Amino acid sequence: MSRDITIKDVAQKAKVSEATVSFVLNNRNNIREETRQRVLKVIEKLNYHPKRTARGLASKKSGNIGFILTDAHFSRSEPFYTKIFLGTEFEARKYNYYILLTTVSNTFSTNEIPRFLLEKDVDGIILAGRVSTKLIDYIQKLALPLVLVDFYVPRSRASTVLIDNEHGAFEAVTHFIRHGHRRLAFIGGDLNHPSISERLQGYLRALEESGIEFIPELAITDEIYTGSEDGHKAAKKLLAVNPRPTAIFAANDAMAIGAMKCLKEHGLRVPEEVAVIGFDDIEDDFHIEPHLTTMRVPKEELGALAVRRIVEMIEAGKPGITTNHIPVELVVRKSCGTHRQ
């Protein structure tokens, strides 16, 4: 059985060191052209395909970027962050990097530190969604380039790629107001997550700028999570308010879909009796009738931009602190209804 050709074989055949072969593979300019051509001819003759570890001899880089999110965000029912991951994967290929994905628990403890961190096998880290500040602190002590996606920690020196949540929520609620709604509800979960908190602020600003009184009973923010079941429970609480709201703005699409199911179970027609708008634009929006009006978030672009920021920091040789906001877009479907007299 023939064995795989190694960098050692190339070095011996070309009569150079393994480090010199690695310099050639990484296009380093401190190699004599005659030596470079000799090494390249041997590589071609031996049909050598370098492993990333060989490339790393010269660059001292792994060629890997770690992508970490919590277990709760990595599931079939939570496709939002999966799309962000896909965005990082496709963008990383342009820069010849691999994306290494792993998950951690919501609380995080030192006994679940990702293996690629323990083995120092990544050149930078992308954290998506809300994660424990303990994990952020641990990574920053390693002095690795770090980008937070859809999450930030006040006073933390970390680069961020964020959604324009506040303005997106403002646009959604303003759309309701333009169509005659005055009893407008908000449903959301954990306000410690900045995205949910910012979407609540956008809802409140839209009411204030339109001169509509804020009714605390119409803002349900005591759900622990933001899944479909939580949206169902929040909508049920709204139905106990008299008079009930004519429109519901949900902090995300999962909650909006749960709310719509609750409304239907109670014999209410969407959008004729209660209109609904969500946030995120996930695929399930088309699996419910009527199709859900929502704020579209360019999820793949969030991931792609995070990779570009990481690569910039890696090439600069030092962490840089940048903040980027990705705009969102209102996608009008049937769940928001038409003009109300």
**Same domain (yes/no): 222, 75:** no
Mind listing the pLDDT tens digit for each residue in 187-224? 998 888 889 999 999 999 999 999 999 999 999 998 87
Residue 265 lies in a domain: yes
Residue 1 lies in a domain: no
Burial of residue 141 (CB within 10 Å: 0-12, 13-18, 19+) is: exposed
Buried b (16+ CB within 10 A) or exposed e, 187-199: bbbbeebbbbbbb
- Residue 51's CATH number: 1.10.260.40
**Same domain (yes/no): 107, 212:** no
- Residue 182's CATH number: 3.40.50.2300
Closest CA to 323 of 198, 153, 201: 153
pLDDT (0 to 100) of residue 77: 55
Can you give the pTM of this predicted structure? 0.78
Closest CA to 292 of 203, 172, 202: 172
Q: CA distances (Å), 198 to each of 79, 115, 124, 202, 251, in order?
A: 21, 34, 28, 6, 10
**Same domain (yes/no): 44, 148:** no
Residue 38 lies in a domain: yes
**Number of domains present in the structure of the chain:** 3
Closest CA to 310 of 133, 62, 108: 62
Domain, as residue range, for 33: 7-59
**Same domain (yes/no): 206, 284:** yes
Residue 320 lies in a domain: yes
Q: Is the pLDDT of residue 78 over 80?
A: no
Q: How many helices (H) and strands (E) does the chain have?
A: 12, 12
Residue 2 lies in a domain: no
Residue 45 lies in a domain: yes
**Same domain (yes/no): 51, 86:** no
**Same domain (yes/no): 220, 283:** yes
254 CB-near residues (< 8 Å, 6+ apart) = 77, 78, 226, 227, 228, 230, 231, 278, 280, 282, 284
Closest CA to 218 of 261, 175, 250, 171: 250
Final residue in a domain of this structure, among 16, 41, 59: 59
Phi, psi of 297, rounded to the nearest 5 degrees: -105, 125
**Same domain (yes/no): 174, 291:** yes
**Same domain (yes/no): 176, 289:** yes
Mean pLDDT check: name the lowest of 59-63, 131-135, 216-220, 321-325.
59-63
Mean pLDDT check: name the lowest of 161-170, 232-241, 319-328.
319-328
Closest CA to 118 of 104, 136, 140, 139: 139
**Same domain (yes/no): 68, 172:** no
Radius of gyration of the chain, Cα coordinates, nearest whole angstrom:
25
**Same domain (yes/no): 135, 153:** yes
pLDDT (0 to 100) of residue 58: 52
Mean pLDDT check: name the lowest of 18-27, 42-51, 52-61.
52-61
Q: What is the mean pLDDT of the chain?
A: 89
